[in-house]
Amino acid sequence: MAAADPSIDRLVDEGTMEEAERGDVVVDGQLAGWVLKEISDLRVLLTAPLVVRLERIATRDHLNLEEARRQTLHREGVQAERYRKHYGFSVDDWSIYHLILDTSFGSIEDTAKILQAAALTAKNAKMGKSLEKNPGPQPIPAGTSHP
């Protein structure tokens, strides 16, 4: 329905913005990073490899893996087109996020600890308690070894 009627997304966006402007909130949503990019203190993208996402979806929705794949790829294609058409951005553009976290590396508890640390870091930076300013993501030159 939202794919055909952009007013639905706009209504949700307005509610999201109103809630975020109250402060001290966590907003979760596929568009939240984009909608709130000018006022958010921390934008996080949680991701996982396709196979991991499909396994999780199949388990959650009681589907076989092939049906989970079919539904997921269809939904992601529709959403990607909708976001491009109505908002003018690509879902593959992750440049607005402060933190991109692959949730397949650890447990839910591990992920929560990382998110809590990131939130505390962002809060401290906002309050001027950060020891140094973060210049943002820096590219790693090709052929460079890193830890």
The tens digit of pLDDT for each residue in 70-122 reads: 999 999 999 999 999 988 989 899 999 999 999 999 999 999 999 999 999 99
Token pair belonging to 8: 């639905």
Judge whether 122 and 98 are in contact, CB under 8 Å: yes
E strand or H helix at 9, and its extent? helix 6-21
CA–CA dist 118, 123 (Å, integer): 9
pLDDT at 122: 92
pLDDT at 145: 54
| Residue pointed to by tokens 């009681």 | 62
Judge whether 14 and 31 are in contact, CB under 8 Å: no
pLDDT at 109: 95
27-116: CATH number:
3.40.50.300
pLDDT tens digits, one per residue of 39-81: 999 999 999 999 999 999 999 999 999 999 999 999 999 999 9
- pLDDT score of 144 more than 60: no
